[in-house]
Amino acid sequence: MAVPDYADPRPVKVQIADDLRQQVMSGVYEPGDKLPPVRELAAAYHVVTGTVRDAIEVLRREEVLQTRSTRGTYVLKPPAEQPPSEFDIVMGRIDELAEQVSLLRGEMADLRQERPGETRQ
């Protein structure tokens, strides 16, 4: 998959963070390795440098990467397990709520069938 994938509903920074995380997990980048400069990553992903910085910040919060002032961004450790992103957590909750609404609609339909002649509001 090319990153960013504009058909993907996830924010571009999340897609790039996921791609970089995968590269660390697969050994493309190992602990101690320096990532290419932000400008090179931005050119490779066809995005602005701010988007790459945002993606790096996601991985810094996960303690996968560390940025050293004026020296670059380095891999600290491979992620033990890919944690769900905030987007994935919210989408999971939305899916749960959609399922509950569907169940409630089914229950309402059953109640309407039990009481024919009652008008809908």
Record the tokens describing residue 65, joined without a space.
Answer: 């990467």
**Tokens 């002649």 -> residue:** 117
Record the tokens describing residue 97, joined without a space.
Answer: 């709520």
Asked whether residue 53 is assigned to any structural domain, the reply reads yes
Alpha-carbon distance 98 to 118, whole Å? 27
pLDDT for 83: 63
Asked whether residue 95 is assigned to any structural domain, the reply reads yes
CATH of the domain at 67: 1.10.10.10
Record the tokens describing residue 86, joined without a space.
Answer: 């905030």
pLDDT in tens, 89-111: 888 889 889 889 998 998 898 88
Q: What mean pLDDT is predicted for residues 2-16?
A: 91
Alpha-carbon distance 104 to 110, whole Å? 10
* Model pTM score: 0.65
Q: Which residues contact 93 (CB under 8 A, 6 or more apart)?
A: none
pLDDT for 27: 92
Q: Please tell me whether residues 28 and 54 are part of one structural domain.
A: yes
pLDDT for 46: 96
Domain count, the chain: 2
pLDDT in tens, 13-44: 999 999 999 999 999 999 999 999 999 999 99
Q: Which domain holds residue 102?
A: 84-121
Q: What mean pLDDT is predicted for residues 59-84?
A: 85
Which band of pLDDT confidence, cut at 50, 70 and 90, is reported for residue 119?
low
Q: Which helix (H) or strand (E) holds 66?
A: strand 65-68
Residue 78 in this model has a pLDDT that exceeds 80: no
Asked whether residue 62 is assigned to any structural domain, the reply reads yes
